[in-house]
Chains A and B, each alone.
Chain A
Amino acid sequence: MRFFEDIEIGQRRDVGSFTFTADGIKKFAAQFDPQAFHLDEEAGRKSLFGGLAASGWHVGSVCMKLLVADGQRRAREALARGEKVAVWGPSPGFRELRWVKPVLAGDTISFASEVESVRSSEKRPEWGILQIRNTGTNQRGELVFSVLATAFVPRRSNS
């Protein structure tokens, strides 16, 4: 992971894609969000979603999964080059999460991450605060998911 000093507004990266299967959608829903349109094809077809739809929390969790995998891959590469790797702090939250369109069984969602703002933390000067727009786009190029996440990033000078 990068340090605060390495980060600029507009930096964007693709973090990978994920196919939501009917079984995967139902398994997550049974545990966390057992509304009929997330559990049953027929109920999904009759709903506003028009088909068996993934829980929005499933979509968000998969986005997190791909962000973590991408971060860990990049950290391994940086270590292999002999570079120092920044350890980001826990996130204080997010804003503007939008489930723009339903994610239906069989959809493949590609996720991307773009830095929207960068500033120093007033309370903790050794940290910077980023706002990152994470998005998911389906196989037809339609935006389905968007969230503005906040992250704490350490300064290189303090590491």
Chain B
Amino acid sequence: MMLTFEDFPPGHFGTFGPRHVTREEILAFAAEFDPQPMHLDEEAASRSMLKGLSGSGWHLCSIMMRMMFDGFIGRTASLGSPGVNELRWLAPLRPGDDLTLDVEVAEARVSRSRPETGIVTFKGVVRNAAAVALCEMVSPIIVQRRADIAAERAD
């Protein structure tokens, strides 16, 4: 059964992970998308504001996306997302981190322009094993409503 709009009432939705992050993947992402010395070079990183090798913020976002996919989006009738209201990078992602993702439904409403869908606004927080929040995101996702799926089945 795919999850639909009705499965996302406001409140705590779930906790997902842990997801282990290796040094190799931090370096590989940085080399391709964010080749700043603080993400690539141990020596330069130790002299940077973040005091040690850290993953790109966009890498952390991408890992959070994958954790959301594995956690629930992969079994949700999701039509995609129009964007991100706010994203805060709070603490650096480090090699060897084991990440968990906490997801809360901040708001769920039926779409006015496409009433067969709803807009579910999630708040996601990624934490490391020491429970330090690394990243916080508020983002809406467009999700099919159950009535519509039922109507499709009747066809």
Q: List A residues at the B interface (Cβ < 8 Å).
A: 28, 31-35, 37, 47-49, 53, 55-57, 60-62, 64-65, 68-69, 72, 89-99, 147
**Interchain residue pairs A-B with the least CB separation, the first 4:** A93-B88, A97-B84, A32-B62, A98-B83
* Residue contact B66 to A33, C-beta cutoff 8 Å: yes
Question: Smallest distance from the beta carbon of B146 to chain A beta carbons, Å?
Answer: 18
A residues near B66, Cβ cutoff 8 Å? 31-34
Min C-beta distance of A65 to chain B, whole Å: 5
Q: What is the CB-to-nearest-CB distance from A69 to chain B, in angstroms, rounded to a whole number?
A: 8
A-B contact count (CB 8 A): 96
Cβ-defined contact, A57 with B32, below 8 A: no
B80/A68 in contact, CB under 8 A: no
14 A–B pairs (Cβ distance < 8 Å), ordered by A: A28-B62, A32-B63, A34-B66, A47-B79, A61-B29, A64-B34, A64-B58, A68-B35, A69-B35, A72-B35, A93-B86, A95-B85, A95-B86, A99-B80
- Which of B49-57, B98-106, B120-128 is near enough to bind chain A? B49-57
Take A33-B62, A47-B80 as given contacts and tell me if A65 and B88 are in contact as well, using a CB distance cutoff of 8 Å.
no
Interface of B is mostly: mixed
Interface residues of B (CB under 8 A from A): 29, 32-36, 38, 48-50, 54, 56-59, 61-63, 65-66, 69, 73-74, 78-89, 92, 142
The A interface is mostly helix, strand or loop, or mixed, namely mixed
* Distance of A48 Cα from B113 Cα, bound (Å): 14
Whether A60 contacts B61 by the Cβ 8 Å rule is yes
B63 touches A61 (CB 8 A): no
Q: How far is the CA of A90 from the CA of B88 in the complex (A)?
A: 12
A61 shortest CB reach to chain B, Å: 4
CA distance A55 to B78 in the complex (A): 13
CB of A35 within 8 A of CB of B78, answer yes
Interchain nearest-CB distance for B82 vs A (Å) = 6
Q: Quick check: B65 and A37 within 8 Å, CB to CB? A: no
- Contact of A68 with B34 in the complex, beta carbons under 8 Å: yes
For residue A57, which residues in chain B have a CB less than 8 angstroms away from its CB?
A: 58, 61-62, 65
Min CB–CB distance B57 → chain A (angstroms): 6
Shortest beta-carbon distance, B49 to chain A, in Å?
5
